[in-house]
Amino acid sequence: MTSPTVQPTGATSPLSVFADIASNARSTRASLAIDAERALLDGIPHEMLSFSAGEEILADGEALGGTYLMLSGWAFRYKALMDGRRQIIGFVLPGDLCSSWIGGMGAMSHGVRSLTISRVARIDRDVIFQRLVENSALIERFRQVAAQEHTILGAWLLNIGQRKAPERIAHLFCELATRMRKIGLSPVDDGYEVPLTQQDLADALGLTSVHVNRVLQKLRERHFIDFRRGMISIQDVPALCAYVEFKDGYLSH
């Protein structure tokens, strides 16, 4: 269950909320529990929420009264059909927003659910508005974040619509590897921690978990990707990126 803990502070903090995250998080830490919060939340009144794995962070259709920033842990956004089928439409990593800013403060158009233990900062709408007025550069930063999300959605559409299972899986891992490196996760040695089950992969890629399993085995045999139990290692990252025409440009902002 959510265990909100209010920790309001008063000082001002320019646009550090997002601008600094990239630079500051480069402190190569190995765990998924990297806390981006230090640099982020100084001086911004917020409420801290904690979730255990598998909890609903935001429900589809829920009305928003603020912005939710993922501090540590992973989550995913998803849309579900009545008969149980569900599509994961994106992953939320530390430093990402659970609720896209462009969604405004209206109703969520998808749900958000935690994959691991995670901590989320909830920043009230009024605080956000005030910051936006004070600092117009923040708008630009929000816009960039939204643009990246938009681009990722397009990349996913291309991935699911046009590629076959092996390429789909590979492309997703390229994206995740790139994003993790950017925020300082990923020990680089011989594997990243990617807290996804094969079922999660299936839901994200429009496949069946059985099929994902079989394809993963082939990718393993061919020494392309070795993913098991939430741990992934990629033999030759550049080769894999070339294989699936992965361009990391859109993740570089």
Q: Which of 2, 7, 9, 199 binds DNA (CB under 7 A)?
A: 199
Q: Which of 16, 50, 72, 100 binds a copy of itself (CB under 8 A)?
A: 100
Which tokens is 41 given? 């939340």
Please, which residue, 229 or 249, has the CB nearer to DNA?
229
Q: Does 146 bind a copy of itself (CB under 8 A)?
A: yes
Which tokens is 120 given? 């989320």
Q: Which of 165, 177, 234, 244 binds DNA (CB under 7 A)?
A: 165
Contact letters (x/-) for a copy of itself, 107-136, by CB under 8 A? --xx--------------------------
Closest CA to 34 of 90, 117, 100: 117
Q: Does 198 bind DNA (CB under 7 A)?
A: yes
Please, which residue, 49 or 145, has the CB nearer to a copy of itself?
145
The residue count for binding a copy of itself (CB under 8 A) is: 37
DSSP class per residue in 106-163: SB-SSEEEESSSEEEEEEEHHHHHHHHHH-HHHHHHHHHHHHHHHHHHHHHHHHHHH-
Task: Name residues contacting a copy of itself, limited to 226-245 (CB under 8 A).
Answer: 245
Query: Applying CB under 8 A, which part among 49-57, 96-104, 176-184, 221-229 lies near a copy of itself?
Result: 96-104
**Regarding beta strands 192-193 and 225-228, do their DSSP bridges make them parallel or antiparallel, or are they unpaired?**
unpaired
Residue 81 binding partner per list DNA, a copy of itself, none, with a CB distance cut-off of 5 to 8 Å that depends on partner kind: a copy of itself
Q: State how far the Cα of 88 lies from the Cα of 79, in Å rounded to an integer.
A: 6
Beta bridge partners of 192: 232
Please, which residue, 161 or 238, has the CB nearer to DNA?
161
Q: State how far the Cα of 226 lies from the Cα of 55, in Å rounded to an integer.
A: 28
Measured from the Cβ of residue 216, the count of other Cβ atoms closer than 10 Å reads 20
The least CB distance from residue 214 to DNA, in Å, is: 6
Q: Does 87 bind DNA (CB under 7 A)?
A: no
Closest CA to 17 of 147, 138, 133: 138
DSSP class per residue in 19-78: HHHHHHTTS---STT---HHHHHTT---EEEEE-TT-EEE-TTPBPSEEEEEEES-EEEE
Q: Does 230 bind DNA (CB under 7 A)?
A: yes
Q: Does 29 bind a copy of itself (CB under 8 A)?
A: no
Residues forming the site for DNA (CB under 7 A)? 164-166, 197-199, 206-211, 213-217, 228-230
